[in-house]
Amino acid sequence: MRIAIASDHAAVELKAALADWLRESGHDVDDLGPMTADRVDYPDFGYKLAEAVASGKAERGVALCGSGIGISIAVNRNPACRAALVSEPLSAALAREHNDANVLAMGARIIGPDMAKACLAAFLSTDFGGGRHADRVAKLSSRSLESLAL
């Protein structure tokens, strides 16, 4: 599988570890940066990752920052992306099965490398369940806020 991975400065070490692990697992990995721990802004890398997934250059994405929150918000600004912020494998699997998440977001200051690998393994090995979830997922990309009758 072709996987794009990006982070901010707080998650550079975790990004490198996960990219290596993914390559060892047989995946084609596109590391979108950054390559050093010099301060950067997570939206820049979240948008870059979202574009890679939305354009089809990557089948899945991995978004990392200190908490995982900021970069997941940035990725989710792209309507073609469904980033799920997780910190344990069950949520990672459910994000795929129920929400057809195409980007996994995690916080480097929240979880360590072993838990991140477990989350990523669950995410990559779980298929979208379709069925009753398909219509809900379709609404995530097809409806604008203006069209919602709240």
**What amino acid positions are annotated as catalytic residues?**
65, 98
Q: Print the SS3 string covering the chain.
A: CEEEEEECHHHHHHHHHHHHHHHHCCCEEEECCCCCCCCCCHHHHHHHHHHHHHCCCCCEEEEEECCCHHHHHHHHCCCCCCEEECCCHHHHHHHHHHHCCCEEEEECCCCCHHHHHHHHHHHHHCCCCCCHHHHHHHHHHHCCHHHCCC
Token readout for 92 is 């990672």
Token readout for 60 is 């899945």
Residue 120 neighbours by CB under 8 Å, 6+ apart: 18, 21, 22, 62, 92, 104
